[in-house]
Structure 1
């Protein structure tokens, strides 16, 4: 790593605001939180499906009758 560069090792801020801060409205932080919550929801559905409760399987089963 070159010690002569002025690039910080970690980008902590975007437009002067913390990237992990929960800010209400349309901003880059909202997209980060949207992605995080989507990942949590997807994982929750996968665990729910592994437990034997599947909305998709139930809907497809009902469509076959």
Structure 2
């Protein structure tokens, strides 16, 4: 006699993907901005040059 595995007690509900401005998009954009800002600071610290010097505007 074979035993069947137990069934999950909670069925996950999958949300329909959203377009436009929504909480997930705003959260993702904020995180990307924080990573970009941190990388900018790190590169400025390592190279000793600011963003304007990188762009050749200084």
Tell me which interval the TM-score lies in, with the shorter structure as reference length: 0.5 to 0.7
Structure 1: where are the runs of 5+ without partners?
Answer: 1-15, 18-22, 61-65
- TM (norm. structure 2) is 0.53
Structure 1 residue ranges, 4+ long, deviating more than 4 angstroms after superposition: none
Instruction: Name the structure where strand makes up a greater proportion of residues.
Output: 1
Larger radius of gyration: 2
RMSD: 2.3
Which structure 2 residues correspond to residues 6-45 of structure 1 after superposition, within 5 A?
A: 25-26=19-20, 27-45=22-40
- Work out the number of aligned pairs and report it: 39
Structure 2: where are the runs of 5+ without partners?
Answer: 1-13
